[in-house]
């Protein structure tokens, strides 16, 4: 879905019609049946849906699944470390990457 400025948006809560611009999301983190959204503005929102619910809308828009519990916006990845299997985001957040996903991730981002 796109807003009036042709920027992709994601509907977080259909009942309240809560939408966010996809380019503001740093990463999503799974917590059983909840998803924590971490935004560029340091804000955090929790939604009562599993991570897989958001995957079809995010992956075609520059997001990458780095772990079974994390999806990252590739535009905010500052560096990857192949020795420690981690990535560092532009805000300094360091996230663990699954061993099987690190090589594919480094090819997509760099």
| All structural domains of the chain | 9-109 (2.40.50.1020)
Mean pLDDT of the residues in the chain: 85
Q: How far apart are CA 106 and CA 92, in angstroms?
A: 18
Tokens of 42: 């340091």
Question: What pLDDT was estimated at residue 5?
Answer: 47
Round the CA-based radius of gyration of the chain to a whole number and report it: 14
Q: What is the pLDDT of residues 56-98, one digit of tens each?
A: 999 999 999 999 999 999 999 998 888 899 999 999 999 999 9
Contact 11, 17 (CB under 8 A): yes
């Amino acid at each position: 879905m796109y807003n009036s400025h042709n920027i992709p948006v994601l509907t977080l809560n259909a009942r309240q019609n809560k939408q966010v611009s996809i380019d503001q999301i740093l990463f999503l983190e799974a917590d059983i049946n909840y998803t924590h959204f971490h935004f560029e503005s340091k804000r955090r929102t929790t939604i009562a849906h599993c991570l897989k619910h958001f995957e079809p809308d995010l992956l075609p828009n520059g997001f990458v699944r780095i772990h079974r519990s994390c999806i990252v916006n590739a535009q905010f990845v500052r560096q990857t470390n192949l020795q420690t299997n981690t990535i560092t985001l532009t805000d300094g957040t360091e996230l663990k990457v699954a061993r099987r996903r690190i090589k594919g991730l480094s090819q997509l981002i760099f």
